[in-house]
Structure formats: structure tokens, C-alpha cells
Amino acid sequence: MEEKKVNSFLDKLKANAKKQSNYGGETEINDAQLNARDCPNCGAGRAKQDGVTHCAYCGFEFISVKLTDGVYIKKEDNSI
């Protein structure tokens, strides 16, 4: 009688484990890819990341950003 209770408990555990979903959702299968760019000035490779504005080797400027007045944030006036 006791062995039957153990088996039913194990069966419940196995059933619960099978019906669980992955944490964070289902996995997506993607093809392998290389996410890198070359510097147009010196040819050095770098990881393609948002926010990287200059080459680490030669200092070439990839992205030129000019800040302007926003809705809530204004440029500071340093002439005072």
C-alpha cells in the first residue's frame, strides 16, 4: 500500500514538471550571426553597440550628436 502512494506522488511530480513552461517564454531559434562593424578610418573591428560614438583605436567619430533644448530639459547657459 505504501509503495503505491510513493509511485502516485512521483507520478504527480513528473506530470507537473512536464506541464511547466520555460521561465521567460519559449526560446527562439535564430541563425548564428556576427554583430560587428569595421571603423571606416582605420579598419579596426568593434562590437556593434548602441551608444558607441568613437573608435577605441583611432578616435574616429562614428556618430555626431548635437544636444538641443528639449521639452523639459534646457541647455545650460555657462556664460553666467
The answer, yes or no, to whether residue 70 has pLDDT greater than 60, is: yes
Note the pLDDT tens digit of each residue in 12-69: 889 888 888 877 777 888 888 777 778 888 888 876 666 677 888 888 887 776 777 7
In a domain, 15, yes or no: no
Q: Which domain holds residue 53?
A: 33-68
Cα distances (Å, whole numbers) of residue 5 to 2, 11, 23, 54, 62: 5, 10, 30, 67, 68
In a domain, 60, yes or no: yes
| Mean pLDDT, rounded, for 67-75 | 76
In a domain, 44, yes or no: yes
For the question of whether the overall pTM of this predicted structure is more than 0.75, the answer is no
Quote the pLDDT of residue 51.
Answer: 64
The answer, yes or no, to whether residue 2 has pLDDT greater than 70, is: no
In a domain, 47, yes or no: yes
In a domain, 7, yes or no: no
Number of domains in the chain: 1
Quote the pLDDT of residue 78.
Answer: 60
In a domain, 57, yes or no: yes
In a domain, 2, yes or no: no
